Amino acid sequence: MQAGHHNLWTTDWEAYWTDAAQRAVLFTDILRKRGNVYLEHLLSDQPPVLVFDYETILDGRDFDPPVNYALVRIIDRRREGRPVPGGAAAERRHQASVAVEAPEATRRPIVIFDPRAGHGPGIGGSKKDSQIGMALDAGHPVYFLIFFTRPAPDQTLSDVRNAQIKFVEAVRQRHPNAPRPAIIGNCQGGWAAALVGAERPDLVGPMVFNGSPLSYWGGVEGVNPMRYLGGLIGGVWLNSLLSDLGHGYFDGANLVANFENLNPANTLWTKLYHVYANVDTEEKRFLDFEKWWGGFFLMTDREIHQIVDGLFVGNKLERGEFELEAGRRVDLKNNDNPVVVFASFGDNITPPQQAYNWIVKTYGTVEEIKRRGQVIVGIGHSKIGHLGIFVSAKIARKEHKEIIASFDMLHYLPPGLYEMQIEEEPDAPGEYAVRYVEKSMDDILALDDGLEDEKAFLAVRQTSEVNDRLYRSLVSPWMRLAVPTGMAETIRQLHPLRVQRYMLSDLNPWMIPIRAWADVIKNNDRRQPVGEDNIYRIWEKRMSDTIVDGLNLYRDMRDAACELMFQTIYESPWMKMLSDFVGPVAPRNDQELEEMRRRDAERWRRHMTTGEFEDAVVRIFLAIGFSDQVVRRKGYKVIGRLFADNPRMRALDLDDLQQIVREQSRIVQTDVDQAIEHLPRLLPRGKDRREALAMIAEAERTIGRPLAPQEDAMIERVRGVLAA
C-alpha cells in the first residue's frame, strides 16, 4: 500500500509539473498576445469593440464646436438581407415578445450611451447576447454613440451634451412615425443620458440607467469605500494636476487604475490565475475583454474637472445645483418620461444606494413622483458585478431582454415608483413573466443605513473647492509651463497599465522564445493537461484561495483604515460646523411642495365627473388592475387585445390613449372611491354600461390566472355601481 501511495504521489508530481510548465508558457504567450492586441488596437485608432456591423450617421468632429463623438447605426443583417454567420440557427435566439405582442413598438429606435470612464466604447455590444442583440431580436432599430481616443481641444461637457441631443434628434428624424427613441445609458452613460433627458424631455422616450451613479455620496458604512476617495485626496485638485501633467488632457488610464485598486485580489491574482488555470479555453474571452479594458481614452481638463467637481465630489446633480452652462441648472425632474434604474448588490463601483438615492433626493416623496406624472422603475440583482450589468450574456438574455420588451408598457403604468420583478415561465424556458410592484421611498432608504453620514461630504465639497482654487492659482500655471506636449505624451506612455501591455508584446525580443515554445506545445500534440483530481492541482487551487483570502484581508483592512481616516477628518467638530454652514443633505421647500400637491389633488377631483366612454373604460381597468398595487404585463396584453377588438377604443391613436391613461391614473390615485362612484356620470347610457361590463367579463375569461382578492372586490364594486 505504501508503494502504491508513493507511486501515486510521484506520478501526480511528474504529470502536474509537466502541465504547470506548459501552462506557464501558454499563459505568458497569452499575455504576449494581449500586448499585441493593445498595440494593434492603438494603431487602428481604437475603434469600438462592437461585434456588430455599423455605419456612421453623424460625426461630432464636424460639429461646431466639434466633439469626439459619433452616432452609428447598428446593421441588423437579418432584416437587411445580408448573410448571417451561423445560418438559420443564428436567426432569433428568443421569442421576440415586443415584436409579436406590440407591433407598434418594433419601430421604436433604441439609442445606447456607453460609458466614457477611461475605456473606449462598445462594451454594451461586445457580445451577440447583449443589449444590442436583445434589441435587434425584438425588432428595434438600434443606434450607438461611439467616441474617439482624443477629445476636441477645449471640449466641454456642455458641448458633449448638446452633440448628444443632435444625435437623438437625427434618430427621431429618421423614424418620424415611430415612438420616441428609448435611451439606454451604461454606467457614466446613464448620467450623460439623464442630462439629455432633463434638457430635452420632448425628444426621448423611456430611459434606462444601468449601474449609473447619480447619487455619488450614497453608500453603507463599512461596505462602500470608494466614495471616500475624493475626500482623502483633498478633492478635485489632483485631477487638475494630472490634467496639467497631460498638457490639458486627462488620461483615462488613471480612472481604470482606480477601478483596479478597488479589488486587488481580482486585479493582482484572480483574473490572471483564472486564465492560467484554464489556459486551454480562456484565451479568446480574456483577449476580447482586455482589448476593451486596455483601451485608454482621454478627456479634456475641463471635462474631467466638471465631472469630478460637479458630480462625484460636489454631488450637485441630484441636489439640483449642477450647471453645464453658467446660470442654467440641470433639473432631473424636467424629464417626465419613464425611467428604469438597474442596480446590483454585487456592484462595488455603483452600489444600489448611488443608483437609487437620487430618486429620494430629487422627488422627496412618491406623491411628488405621481404629481409630476412620472414613472420610475427599479430593478435589482443580488450579486452581478458592475461590468456584468451591461456585459454578461446571462443578464442580457433575462433583465435587458425584459426591460426592452417593456418599453411600450411603461407609458401605460400609473405614475409612481415600482420594482420590476422577473420570473421565468415554468412552461416556457427562456421566457419570463414580468410584474411591477408599487414601492415607497422607505423601500429605497431601507437599502441605506441612513443619510446622515452624507453630511460629511458637504465639508468634502467645500475643502475640495478651496484646495482646487489654491492649486489653480499657485501651482497650475507653472506645471503647464514645465510639461510640454512631448513630455506629456511620454508620461502617458509610462503609465503602469500601458507598460505592462507593450512590455509583454512582440516589441520585446525576450518574447520570441515564448512564442516559439507555445507553438511547439500547441501544434505538436505535446500538450499534457492533468485532471482535476491531481493532488498537486488541488493544492494549487487551495494555494490560490489562500492568496485571494490574504489580498481580500489586505483590502478590508485598507478600506477600514480609509473609512476611519475619512470619519476622523470630516466628522470632526470643525468640519461639522462647515457642513452645517453649507446646508442640508437634501434641500427642498416642503411647504411649497405641499401646496402644489394640494392644488393637484383638487384639479383631479374636478375632473372625476367628466369624460367619455373611453375615459370610463380606462378608469375601470386601472382601478381593477392596480387594486393590489401590482401591475402584470400579462394583464396589460389582455387589455391591449380587448381595446384592439373594441371599435371606439381602437379608434384612439397612441398619443391620445397614453394621455387618457395618464389622466385617469391620477384620478384613480387621488381618490379611487370617488373615481368609481362617478363612473355613471361618464357612462350615462345603458348600452355603454353593458359594453363596459362585457369587456370586464371578457378580461376575466382570458386573463389566464386566478384574480387577487382585491381585484375581485373591485370588479364587484364596479358592477354594482354600473348596475345601479
Per-residue 3-state assignment (H helix, E strand, C coil) for 480-537: HHHCCHHHHHHHHHCCHHHHHHHCCCCCCHHHHHHHHHHHHHHHCCCCCCCCCCCHHH
CB 183 within 8 A of CB 197: yes
| DSSP label of 184 | E
Q: What is the pLDDT confidence band of residue 584, given thresholds at 50, 70 and 90?
A: low
Identify the CA nearest to 189 among candidates 129, 235, 125.
125
Average pLDDT over residues 477-495: 95
Residue type, 90: A
240, with CB counted inside 10 A (0-12, 13-18, 19+), is: buried
Q: Helix, strand, coil: what percent of the chain each, to 5?
A: 60, 10, 30
Per-residue confidence (pLDDT) for residue 8, from 0 to 100: 60
The pTM score is 0.91
Handedness of CA 660, 663, 666, 670 (dihedral sign): negative
Worst-scoring range by mean pLDDT, 57-66, 478-487, 524-533?
A: 524-533
Mean pLDDT of the chain: 89
Nearest-angstrom CA–CA distance, 113 and 120: 12
The number of C-alpha atoms within 13 Å of 59 and in the hemisphere containing its C-beta is 6
Per-residue confidence (pLDDT) for residue 578, from 0 to 100: 67
Handedness of CA 667, 670, 675, 678 (dihedral sign): negative
Which overall architecture, per CATH, does domain 57-217+337-450 show? 3-Layer(aba) Sandwich (3.40)
Question: How many residues make up the chain in this entry?
Answer: 724
**% of the chain residues with pLDDT over 90:** 73
Identify the CA nearest to 57 among candidates 134, 221, 155, 169.
169
* Res. 94: pLDDT tops 60: no
Domains of the chain, residue spans: 57-217+337-450, 590-723
CB 183 within 8 A of CB 205: yes
Nearest-angstrom CA–CA distance, 385 and 123: 14
First-to-last alpha carbon distance for the chain, in angstroms, is 93
CB 53 within 8 A of CB 306: no
* Res. 68: pLDDT tops 90: yes
* Res. 366: pLDDT tops 70: yes
Nearest-angstrom CA–CA distance, 123 and 295: 11
Per-residue confidence (pLDDT) for residue 724, from 0 to 100: 64
Residue type, 599: R
Per-residue confidence (pLDDT) for residue 222, from 0 to 100: 86
B/e letters for 199-217, b = 16+ CB within 10 Å, e = fewer, are bbeebbbbbbbbbbbbbbb
| DSSP label of 114 | -
Per-residue confidence (pLDDT) for residue 600, from 0 to 100: 87
Q: Which three cell numbers stand for residue 170?
A: 437625427
Distances from the Cα of 604 to the Cαs of 364, 625, 701, in angstroms?
21, 20, 32
Answer whether the bond into residue 477 is a cis peptide, omega within 30°.
no
Average pLDDT over residues 330-350: 94
Q: Greater confidence, 105 or 68? A: 68
Worst-scoring range by mean pLDDT, 8-22, 39-53, 209-223?
A: 8-22
* Res. 100: pLDDT tops 70: no
Per-residue confidence (pLDDT) for residue 7, from 0 to 100: 62
Nearest-angstrom CA–CA distance, 715 and 417: 25
Per-residue confidence (pLDDT) for residue 223, from 0 to 100: 86
Nearest-angstrom CA–CA distance, 417 and 356: 11
Worst-scoring range by mean pLDDT, 189-203, 250-264, 316-330?
A: 316-330
- Give per-residue pLDDT as tens, 414-472: 999 999 999 988 777 778 999 999 999 999 999 998 888 888 898 999 999 999 999 99
Q: What is the pLDDT confidence band of residue 693, given thresholds at 50, 70 and 90?
A: very high
CA 28 from chain centre, in angstroms, equals: 34
Q: Which three cell numbers stand for residue 630?
A: 401590482
